[in-house]
Amino acid sequence: MAQELSTAGVLLKYAAAASGTTRPTTGYTTVPNIKSIPDFNPEPESLEVTDLSDTEWRRYIAGLKDPGGALAFTANLTTGFKTAWETLVTAYETALAVGKSMWFEIYVPSFGSFFFAGIPSPLGMSAMDVNSVLEVDAYITPNMIYGWGTSSTTSG
């Protein structure tokens, strides 16, 4: 029987590499107020390998996957979130200055974590509507995707 999962308790975390581009396994900091996480499941490009000996069907092999450039993580725009995001951007700039990458973890309780390295962008101003929650899209441009792995913590 399958164990269906809920998104309750999912977290976005970050940590600078201890050296170079090596993915950290501990020391991640949680980004508060995240409401929505983008899709990290792009289809691979199809590369046609049909040759003259094929007589009826074209043949393909899987090519590269494209996560789509800068990805939006939607958050409630609170003072706490704004401060946490600014801290993240500063931590990235500090890590970059000494040749280290910034890693991100999407923690899914009772399942595991998805890891990628990326570049966070400073916050801009969000669109607003009457009688709405003030939200912001915070962008991270992935530049290395590790995929699923063991969570850095068991409780978040």
pLDDT band at 154 (very low <50, low <70, confident <90, very high): low
Residue 91: closest CA among 27, 156, 9: 27
Per-residue pLDDT tens for 44-94? 899 999 999 999 999 999 999 888 889 999 999 999 999 999 999 999 999
Model pTM score: 0.88
User: What pLDDT, on the 0 to 100 scale, is given for residue 2?
Assistant: 76
- Residues 143 and 23: their CA atoms lie apart, in Å, by 13
User: What pLDDT, on the 0 to 100 scale, is given for residue 134?
Assistant: 93
Per-residue pLDDT tens for 6-46? 989 999 999 999 988 999 999 999 999 999 999 988 888 99
Per-residue pLDDT tens for 107-134? 999 899 999 999 999 999 988 899 999 9
Residue-level length of the chain: 156
User: What pLDDT, on the 0 to 100 scale, is given for residue 1?
Assistant: 67
